[in-house]
Amino acid sequence: EDAALVDAFEARVAADEFIEPKDWMPEAYRKTLIRQISQHAHSEIVGMLPEGNWITRAPSLRRKAVLLAKVQDEGGHGLYLYCAAETLGVGRDELIEDLHSGKAKYSTIFNYPTLTWADIGAIGWLVDGAAIMNQVPLQRTSYGPYARAMIRVCKEESFHQRQGYEIMMALMDGTEAQKAMAQDALNRWWWPSLMMFGPPDDNSPNTAQSMRWRIKRETNDQLRQRFVDATVPQAEAIDLRVPDDALAWNEERGHYDFGEIDWEEFYSVIRGEGPVARERMQARRKAWDEGAWVRDAANAYAAKAAARKEA
Ligand code: FAQ
């Protein structure tokens, strides 16, 4: 690559300018963005499944309407993010093909099952809470289309986080059985939520370069710590116990210390061995196949409309 072009690019990034689709960029920067944005898009789409599982079983009309809206938001975020990836010169069919063949990654968190209604509360509170921690800094990521997508996405995620916490509050205000259900959901979702931030910094191959390019604005461990610090008081406020015996406020650091994450589990889920990984991919492929007639009809309609214009 032309050294002068690289220098000019690096200077723009260092000056906190946004890089736009038609601007020159190093091939490795483009590749990294396609990787991260497409994984993010896949996570949103696969992330519709664990909660979609509870739409027909929501405990009231109000809960059902809210959950429907949330899951639709996630679909919207996915489409938004696929569009951002497309501006980098990759086709959507190719991205989806990579997801369905198991080649592309998506967040480990969506490979765990939603066993009770309380899981819907825990997902909104913890999973969307973690997503916000990670995505607020991405509003200032160096690639313009990704940064702008994150602005709307973060607004919607804030609503998702609150609806989840409000479900947990209602359960903790309920019967002994409801309280136990909420605690059980926290027990199962806490550690996988911490894993969402990725491997520890000293074992994160992409962090250093992505920080230099200002694709990532903070490291995995920094964001994970911020999530723990924000979330533990929220658990305490409604009498939930975070399932970590090593958890303790560290006055000197001004942060919570917390226990060791089971990285073996993390890497096995990344390898596709998560508890419901197979079911997730089956559901995605089935939806894709069953939606073929819609895509065909849309294409036929577009072709007809174009032909009419020419005539
Ligand atoms: N799961 O070197 P690093 C949501 C991979 S939120 C799976 O640290 P990087 C909203 C990583 O890709 C969830 N894979 O990588 C929602 C890399 O593999 P590669 C989605 C993971 O990119 C809420 C390798 O490990 N959010 O969907 C995970 O610098 C509720 C080495 O890792 C985003 O994607 C993981 N947890 O940092 C929807 C946010 N962690 O590609 C529905 C944007 C790491 O080299 C319901 N992404 N890996 O083969 C990011 O910020 C970054 O990509 C990180 C990883 C922080 C995820």
- For 62-111, write each residue's pLDDT tens digit: 999 999 999 999 999 999 999 999 999 999 999 999 999 999 999 999 99
Position 121 scores a pLDDT of 98
Position 140 scores a pLDDT of 97
Percent of the chain with pLDDT over 70: 100
Position 46 scores a pLDDT of 98
State if residue 268 touches ligand 1 by the CB under 6 angstroms criterion.
Answer: no
Residue 136 pLDDT grade (very low, low, confident, very high; cuts 50, 70, 90)? very high
Give the residue, by CA position, lying nearest to ligand 1 atom 3. 204
Position 293 scores a pLDDT of 97
Position 1 scores a pLDDT of 83
Q: Per-residue pLDDT for 228 more than 90? A: yes
Residue 57 pLDDT grade (very low, low, confident, very high; cuts 50, 70, 90)? very high
**Token pair of 287 as six digits:** 């939806």
Mean pLDDT of 232-255: 98
Tell me the best of 270, 271, 281 to mutate to test the pocket of ligand 1, counting ligand atoms within 8 Å of each CB and taking the most: 270
Q: Per-residue pLDDT for 310 more than 90? A: no
Mean pLDDT, the chain, whole residue set: 97
- Model pLDDT for residues 194-225, shown as the tens digit of each residue: 999 999 999 999 999 999 999 999 999 999 99
What is the number of the ligand 1 atom nearest to the C-alpha of 123? 30
- Answer whether 156's CB lies under 8 Å from 81's CB: no
What is the number of the ligand 1 atom nearest to the C-alpha of 107? 1
**Token pair of 144 as six digits:** 């313009």
Residue 277's closest CA among 39, 40, 50, 41? 50
Separation CA 245–CA 241 (nearest Å): 10
- Model pLDDT for residues 76-86, shown as the tens digit of each residue: 999 999 999 99
Position 311 scores a pLDDT of 80
Residue 182's closest CA among 191, 169, 194? 169
- Answer whether 108's CB lies under 8 Å from 191's CB: no
b/e map 179-188, b = 16+ CB within 10 Å = bebbbbbbeb
b/e map 63-85, b = 16+ CB within 10 Å = beebbeebbebbeebbebbbebb
Q: Per-residue pLDDT for 153 more than 90? A: yes
Mean pLDDT of 133-162: 97
- Model pLDDT for residues 155-195, shown as the tens digit of each residue: 999 999 999 999 999 999 999 999 999 999 999 999 999 99
| Stated length of the chain | 311
Which amino acid would we find at residue 228? V
State if residue 114 touches ligand 1 by the CB under 6 angstroms criterion.
Answer: no
Residue 256 pLDDT grade (very low, low, confident, very high; cuts 50, 70, 90)? very high
Which amino acid would we find at residue 23? D
Q: ipTM higher than 0.95?
A: yes
